[in-house]
Chain A
Amino acid sequence: MLRALGVSALLCLASVAAAHHSAAMFDDAKVVELTGTVKELQWTNPHVWLQVLVQGEGAATEWSIEGGSPNSLSRQGWRSSTFKGGDAVVVRINPMKDGTPAGSFIGARFADGHTVGRWE
């Protein structure tokens, strides 16, 4: 499930992802919430990529969600196992401006209620 959140409370959430490239492709004034299942976490430089499958009316759509470097994220407590294939998650992102299924990671909430990243 995909839904756009009211942005007023979340406008201040800057993208954490764009350490090595322009963030021009992301809409940092918009926050989208994805409800789906983790396919994999690519724990790689220069960015980690969280691949999330979001079920729509037809086939599931695979979203590519960019995070910081594993170096910086590991110092913030992330691990390569923070997201595992099959995890049910709600993920908030700054989406791509052109509407393609990708975005910049803001935060995530797992089925047991624990959160990662920024989740106010």
Chain B
Amino acid sequence: MRNAFAGSLLVLLAAGGGLALGRPAAAQSALPDWSGVWAMQGGTIFDTATVQPPGGRSGQPGVRESPPYTEEWEAIYRRNIEIVRQGTFPDPVSTCGTPHGFPRLMNLPDVYEFAVTPAAVWIIAENGPNILRVYTDGRDYPDADALWPTYSGASIGHWEGDTLVFTTVSLKESRDGDVIVDRTGLVLSDAARGTTRLRKLDDTTLEATIVIEDAKALTAPWRVVKRYRKQPAGTWAWDYACAENNRNPVTATGRTLTLGPDGRPIDKVIQ
């Protein structure tokens, strides 16, 4: 698997991946104002355009989306949907120990901040917390042997007018459920990469158009749109210390427990 990953990355890097590598960083005065605190609109279904039933919520039994999966990965998704139905599809972030990863970090509750500088844009999600670092200083990706699959991958971007365009590569594949796209059971392979176009639609709306390509899991690019609404001036984002009082550990079988105030599970069934 590691060799397959390295191979796909080499192809990406050799081809330039359609990326604008080597561009000079923009001046701060030329960059858009994305200051303030923002909240994603809608629930945490990743692809709201295809969710069934319409309006279904992430984690609700029987709810699914329709990415252009290969037959093999559609079967994986169907298995996950059945595990959701049984109530034992674990959310890896319930352990409070790992990031949500890309693309899920573009699909979180609570709030976001977008720090725009000439050299980089930081997408800071309060939930998690998660940070997506998008380098815009003209750098190239590290050599293939200096990259390894991570939750949030490696992102390089550039500006097209007021639109930030960035591509995220080197993502971790879901193994033993350690990273997911959302709680309906969506997962991607380690061949996944995403190209995101992030722009301000108006004074109070940011829009991210994310196109996921995955040579193993998808038969075609998968386009998903997320929107973020600017919160009232003076809104605070806070420290989100997930491990502070996590009363929902996950068992080895995927069951999420509930701890009582004494720290012991109160569940009748513990597996």
Seen from chain A, the residues whose Cβ lies within 8 Å of a Cβ on chain B are: 14, 18-25, 42, 44-47, 49, 51, 62, 64, 66, 69-72, 74-75, 96, 98-102
Which residue, B231, B258, B266, has most C-beta atoms of chain A within 10 A?
B258
Q: Looking at chain B, what size class is its interface with the partner chain?
A: 35 or more
- Residues of B with C-beta under 8 A to A49: 245, 247, 261
Q: Which 6 A-B pairs have the closest CB atoms?
A: A24-B87, A44-B245, A21-B94, A98-B268, A21-B248, A71-B238
- Complex CA gap A26/B264 in Å reads 18
Asked whether B135 is an interface residue with its Cβ less than 8 Å from the other chain, the reply is: no
Identify which of B237, B256, B261 contacts A62 (C-beta below 8 A).
Answer: B261
- Complex CA gap A78/B26 in Å reads 42
Known A-B contacts A64-B260, A100-B258, A100-B266; A23 and B244 likewise in contact (beta carbons under 8 Å) = no
B69-90 near A? 1/0 per residue, CB < 8 Å: 0000000000000001001111
Identify which of A24, A69, A70, A75 contacts B256 (C-beta below 8 A).
Answer: A24
CB B66 to nearest CB in A, in angstroms, measures 22
Known A-B contacts A22-B87, A24-B256, A46-B242; A100 and B267 likewise in contact (beta carbons under 8 Å) = yes
Is A64 a contact partner of B266 (Cβ separation < 8 A)?
Answer: yes
Is A46 a contact partner of B109 (Cβ separation < 8 A)?
Answer: no
Closest to B109 in A: A19
Known A-B contacts A20-B96, A25-B258, A64-B266; A45 and B242 likewise in contact (beta carbons under 8 Å) = yes
Interface of A is mostly: loop
Is A44 a contact partner of B57 (Cβ separation < 8 A)?
Answer: no
Interface of B is mostly: loop
Closest to B257 in A: A25
CB A60 to nearest CB in B, in angstroms, measures 14
- Complex CA gap A72/B256 in Å reads 22
Q: A19-B127, A62-B261, A96-B267 are in contact. List 6 more A-B contacts (CB 8 A).
A: A19-B110, A25-B267, A46-B96, A51-B261, A74-B238, A102-B260
- Residues of B with C-beta under 8 A to A18: 59
- Complex CA gap A51/B132 in Å reads 36
- Residues of A with C-beta under 8 A to B1: none
- Residues of A with C-beta under 8 A to B260: 62, 64, 102
Identify which of A23, A69, A101 contacts B240 (C-beta below 8 A).
Answer: A69
Seen from chain B, the residues whose Cβ lies within 8 Å of a Cβ on chain A are: 57, 59, 84, 87-91, 93-94, 96, 109-111, 126-127, 183, 231, 235-242, 244-248, 250, 256, 258, 260-261, 266-269
Is A102 a contact partner of B266 (Cβ separation < 8 A)?
Answer: yes
- Complex CA gap A20/B92 in Å reads 9
Known A-B contacts A45-B241, A102-B266; A25 and B247 likewise in contact (beta carbons under 8 Å) = no
9 pairs, CB–CB < 8 Å, chain A vs chain B: A19-B127, A23-B59, A45-B245, A46-B96, A46-B246, A64-B260, A70-B238, A75-B231, A98-B268
Closest to B242 in A: A46
Which residue, A22, A49, A64, A102, has most C-beta atoms of chain B within 10 A?
A22
Closest to A103 in B: B258
CB A74 to nearest CB in B, in angstroms, measures 7
Is A24 a contact partner of B59 (Cβ separation < 8 A)?
Answer: yes
- Residues of B with C-beta under 8 A to A23: 59
Is B261 a contact partner of A46 (Cβ separation < 8 A)?
Answer: no
- Residues of A with C-beta under 8 A to B110: 19, 69, 71-72
